[in-house]
């Protein structure tokens, strides 16, 4: 919170871009006037002596010819590569004039504006009682966050401890006792307000008027997750969600259970063979890797049906992208840097092209093979193409090829990554709490017997639902959500300035004693016996799927898949935690066990082995 000096201000690239864009849109001088001192040739014009020439800066600064279709929009990114490359003409910005009579005080003005703007942002939150770590110019709080993350990565927790906040959100573990539950910190030059109040979280996530939007991701993150319904905002989100929603209706999902079961049984055949070949018919399996392969196969089958093998190839490349993205998550994104052909960027581009080309081939094949009844198939891809083709023109245009590609990428990342980690942490908890594993198995055998469960059977697995929700509470795949204020907003007693980020740390809220009681860090599925809204002392304290209109579109798919896999596994195997396990959850864009999850599996009986 110190006073910035000239060197600090010189590093404020984003602030510089904002000020230049403000000068373009709202230039203090809207018109320049010059008078000819003699007859002059100006282009093809002959200008007589004593003629006044006007240069309407305000008009030139809004010319679509020079500034593009978004000429009237606030977009500081256009100045990422300097003034001369901001428009389609190097001299399109005239705020300080050009030539020998350029404004002599322009450097003073920019330095003054930067100083004032930085101090205003820094102190506005302080006056509201919001405190946080000291601000380092340009990097903000990122260097401290990186250091805390590196230190936390060395910690191995007690296996019986579910308090993972010191490891996955070490910044809040350190800052909250010092500054309070509402904290101000900085992503570079952008302020971030961390809130832990469920009422405020609901206000942000409900987003009734579209004033809290999903922040724009870096190109690397977007390449991984896809610019699908999970990332777009405003009317574009409304259009995409309307098209995607029908594919995730309960009736449509019911037919996918068989595919989920087939993939699971195939995996368990391998487990059984390995266990039978082992001493004592026990086999140690790294279950996180197994579930990652399984959920990738399930999403490939449920998304692409008979084209699943092509889908698996595309998703292999997308999976490789995650390692790059996880490593760069806390890096400062400098506009334009994505285009620098560094070795890692070149690899990113190759992987992204590979994913997109594979998905385009699948989509083209599906479109070309459509039967006369316009039946594109009962998998997710077919359902979305059909919904898009049948959408009313009044509701917006149908999805383009590129938009369908992006939705497919989103399905894979969300459906594969979150589901595999939900299953991983559920098995971890059941391997420790053997009493709950026994209770769940009894429920599964009662409702499903030894047969392949269908959707109706899975719907009756009440204890399984409670266990999965408790696993999501304690080990939510997404440990923190962010939203961006699209205008100055009032949030409770706080004023959030436009473009500020708001953080909602799910892993911290899910462990609040205020909302979850003294046993907040204990595994207790019974708390969900009366549903989500009554599980805690606050109806909005459970945020694993979000709240409001942007609640996770795939939550029913995820829960159905997790129940199906869990039921089939428990029908056939007992699960116990290997002594080699190190309890080290880590946030790699989704919550994962850093050193894997070794589980000892053993077939239940001869009958159970006859899969």
Shared-domain flag, residues 251 and 131: no
Considering the chain, what is the average pLDDT of its residues?
85
Is 451 a residue whose pLDDT tops 70? Answer: yes
- How many domains does the chain fold into? 3
Question: Tens digit of pLDDT for each residue in 111-137?
Answer: 666 556 665 666 677 677 788 887 776
Task: Give DSSP secondary structure letters for 208-220.
Answer: TTS-EEPPPPPHH
Q: Which pLDDT value is given to residue 328?
A: 60
What percent of the chain lies above the pLDDT cut of 70?
87
Residues 495 and 591 in one domain: no
Which residues have C-beta within 8 Å of that of residue 396, sequence separation ≥ 6? 235, 239, 242
Considering the domain architecture, whether residues 160 and 240 belong to the same structural domain is answered as no
Question: Residue 208 has what pLDDT?
Answer: 66
Instruction: Give the β-pairing of 190-194 and 501-504.
Output: parallel
According to DSSP, residue 416 is labeled I
The SS3 call for residue 504 is strand
Mean pLDDT of 258-282: 84
Count of H-run helices and E-run strands, the chain: 26, 16
The pLDDT value given to residue 273 = 83
| Cα 88 to Cα 375: distance, rounded to the nearest angstrom | 46
3-state secondary structure of 246: helix
Tell me whether residue 419 is in a domain: yes
Give tens-digit pLDDT for 309-333: 777 777 777 777 777 666 665 555 5
Q: How would residue 609 be classed by pLDDT, with cut points 50, 70 and 90?
A: very low
- Given 29, 57, 79, which residue is the final one in a domain? 79
0.85 exceeded by pTM: no
Instruction: State the pLDDT confidence band at 608, using cuts at 50, 70 and 90.
Output: very low
Q: Residue 138 — very low, low, confident or very high, per pLDDT cuts 50/70/90?
A: low
Torsion angle defined by CA atoms of residues 83, 88, 93 and 98, in that order, rounded to the nearest 10 degrees: 90
Q: Is residue 60 part of a domain?
A: yes
- Residues making up the binding site for heme: 552
Residue 205 lies in a domain: yes
DSSP secondary structure, 57-106, as one string: HHHHTT-HHHH-TTTTS--GGGGTT-STTTSSSTT---TT-SGGGS-TTH
pLDDT at 3: 52
- Asked which of 60-64, 135-139, 356-360, 444-448 is least confident by mean pLDDT, the reply is 135-139
Last-in-domain residue among 459, 493, 509: 509
**pLDDT tens digits, one per residue of 518-528:** 999 999 999 99
Considering the domain architecture, whether residues 307 and 335 belong to the same structural domain is answered as: yes
Please state the rounded mean pLDDT for residues 387-412. 81
**Residue 496 near residue 488, CB atoms below 8 Å:** yes
Asked if residue 608 lies in contact with residue 308, where contact means CB atoms within 8 angstroms, the answer is no
Work out the number of other CB atoms within 10 angstroms of the CB of residue 193. 22
* Domain identity same for 383 and 444: yes
Exposure b/e, 53-89, CB count within 10 A at least 16 = b: eeeebeebbeeeebbeeebeeebbebbbeebeebbee
In the chain, what's the furthest Cα-to-Cα distance?
Answer: 106
Tell which of 509, 526, 560 closes a domain: 509
Evaluate if residue 611 carries a pLDDT over 60. no
pLDDT tens per residue across span 365-375: 888 876 656 67
pLDDT at position 119, please?
Answer: 59
Which pairs from 248-251 meet CB under 8 Å and 24+ separation? 248/553, 248/554, 248/556, 248/557, 250/556
- Determine the pLDDT at residue 122: 61
For residue 4, pLDDT over 60 is answered with no
**How many Cα atoms sit within 13 Å of 343 on the Cβ side?**
0
How far apart are the C-alpha atoms of 372 and 175, rounded to whole Å?
Answer: 62
| pLDDT value of residue 446 | 96
First vs last Cα of the chain: how many Å apart?
Answer: 64
Answer yes or no: is pLDDT of 565 > 90. yes
**Is there a single domain that holds both residue 335 and residue 237?**
yes
Predicted confidence at residue 338, as pLDDT, reads: 59
Question: What tens digit of pLDDT does each residue of 175-202 get?
Answer: 999 999 999 998 877 889 999 999 999 9
Both 350 and 244 in a single domain? yes
Q: Check whether residue 166 and residue 252 sit in a common domain.
A: no
Q: What share of the chain is helix, strand, coil (3-state, %, to 5)?
A: 55, 10, 35
Assess if residue 100 is contained within a domain.
no
Tell whether 184 is covered by a domain: yes
Same domain, 344 and 396: yes
Neighbours of 312 (CB within 10 A): 18
Residue 533 pLDDT level (bands cut at 50, 70, 90):
very high
Q: What is the pLDDT of residue 372?
A: 55
pLDDT tens for each residue of 476-529? 999 999 999 988 888 988 888 888 899 999 999 999 999 999 999 999 999 999
Same structural domain, 420 and 437: yes
Q: Examine the pLDDT at 15 and tell me if it is beyond 90.
A: no
Q: What is the separation of C-alpha 373 from the centre of its chain, rounded to a whole number of angstroms?
A: 37
In a domain, 1, yes or no: no
DSSP H or E segment with residue 251 = helix 250-254
What is the reported pLDDT for 112? 60
Query: Is residue 120 located within the same domain as residue 157?
Result: yes
The confidence band for 455, taking pLDDT boundaries of 50, 70 and 90, is: very high
108 domain-assigned: no
Question: pLDDT band at residue 105, thresholds of 50, 70 and 90?
Answer: confident
**Is there a contact between 355 and 317 (Cβ–Cβ < 8 Å)?**
yes
| Residue scoring higher pLDDT (340 or 402) | 402
Q: Which of 116, 150, 136, 110 is nearest to 188 (CA)?
A: 136
Are residues 231 and 218 part of one domain? no
Task: Please indicate, yes or no, if residue 538 is contained in any of the structural domains.
Answer: no
The continuous run of DSSP H or E covering 482 comes out as strand 481-485
Res 607: pLDDT:
43
pLDDT digits over 276-288, tens only? 766 567 889 999 9
Residue-range definition of the domain harbouring residue 580 = 226-478+544-609
User: Which residue numbers belong to the known binding site?
Assistant: 552
Percent share of the chain, pLDDT over 90 = 39
Ranked by mean pLDDT, the top range of 18-32, 106-120, 484-498, 532-546 is 532-546
Domain containing 241 — which CATH number? 1.10.630.10
CA distances from 135 to 129, 150, 176, 480, 496 (A): 16, 20, 16, 21, 18
């Amino acid at each position: 919170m110190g006073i910035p000096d000239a060197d600090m201000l010189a590093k404020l690239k984003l602030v510089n871009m904002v000020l230049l864009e403000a000068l373009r849109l709202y230039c203090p001088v809207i018109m320049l006037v010059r008078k000819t001192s003699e007859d002059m040739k100006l282009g093809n014009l002959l200008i007589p002596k004593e003629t006044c020439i006007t240069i309407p800066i305000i008009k030139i600064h809004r010319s679509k010819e020079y500034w593009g279709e978004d000429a009237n929009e606030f977009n500081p990114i256009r100045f990422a590569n300097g003034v001369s490359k901001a428009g389609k003409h190097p001299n399109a910005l005239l705020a300080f004039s050009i030539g020998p009579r350029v404004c002599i005080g322009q450097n003073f003005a920019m330095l003054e504006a930067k100083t004032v703007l930085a101090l205003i942002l820094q102190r506005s939150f302080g006056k509201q009682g919001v405190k946080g770590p000291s601000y380092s110019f340009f990097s903000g709080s990122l260097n401290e966050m990186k250091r805390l993350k590196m230190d936390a990565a060395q910690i191995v927790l007690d296996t019986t401890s579910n308090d993972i906040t010191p490891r996955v959100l070490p910044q809040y573990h350190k800052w909250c006792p010092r500054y309070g539950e509402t904290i101000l910190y900085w992503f570079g030059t952008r302020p971030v307000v961390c809130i832990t109040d469920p009422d405020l979280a609901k206000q942000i996530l409900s987003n009734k008027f579209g004033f809290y939007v999903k922040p724009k991701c870096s190109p690397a993150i977007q390449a991984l997750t896809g610019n699908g319904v999970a990332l777009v905002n405003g009317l574009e989100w409304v259009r995409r969600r309307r098209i995607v929603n029908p594919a995730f209706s309960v009736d449509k999902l019911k037919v996918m259970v068989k595919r989920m079961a087939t993939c699971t049984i195939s995996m368990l055949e391998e487990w059984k063979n390995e266990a039978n070949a082992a001493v004592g018919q026990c086999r140690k399996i790294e279950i996180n890797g197994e579930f990652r392969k399984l959920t990738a196969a399930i999403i490939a089958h449920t998304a692409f049906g008979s084209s699943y093998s092509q889908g698996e190839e595309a998703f292999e490349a997308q999976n490789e992208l995650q390692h790059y993205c996880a490593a760069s998550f806390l890096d400062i994104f400098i506009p334009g840097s994505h285009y620098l052909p560094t070795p890692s960027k070149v690899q990113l581009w190759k992987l992204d092209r590979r994913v997109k080309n594979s998905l385009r081939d699948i989509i083209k094949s599906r479109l070309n093979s459509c039967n006369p009844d316009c039946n594109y198939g009962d998998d997710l891809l077919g359902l979305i193409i059909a919904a898009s083709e049948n959408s009313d023109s009044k509701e917006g245009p149908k999805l383009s090829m590129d938009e369908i590609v992006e939705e497919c990428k989103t399905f894979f990342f969300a459906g594969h990554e979150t589901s595999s980690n939900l299953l991983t942490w559920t098995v971890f908890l059941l391997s420790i709490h053997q009493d709950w594993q026994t209770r769940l198995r009894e429920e599964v055998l009662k409702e499903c017997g030894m047969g392949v469960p269908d959707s109706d059977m899975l719907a009756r697995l009440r204890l399984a639902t409670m266990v999965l929700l408790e696993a999501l509470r304690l080990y939510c795949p997404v440990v923190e959500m962010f939203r961006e204020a699209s205008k100055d907003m009032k949030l409770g007693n706080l004023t959030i300035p436009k473009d500020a980020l708001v953080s909602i740390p799910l892993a911290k809220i899910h462990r609040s004693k205020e909302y979850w009681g003294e046993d907040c860090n204990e595994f207790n599925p019974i708390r969900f016996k009366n549903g989500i809204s009554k599980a805690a002392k606050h109806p909005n304290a459970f945020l694993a799927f979000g709240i409001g209109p942007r609640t996770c579109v795939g939550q029913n798919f995820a829960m159905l898949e997790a129940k199906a896999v869990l039921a089939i596994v428990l029908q056939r195997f007992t699960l116990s935690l290997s002594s080699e396990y190190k309890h080290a959850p880590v946030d790699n864009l989704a919550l994962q066990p850093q050193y894997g999850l070794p589980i000892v599996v053993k077939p239940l009986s001869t009958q159970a082995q006859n899969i």
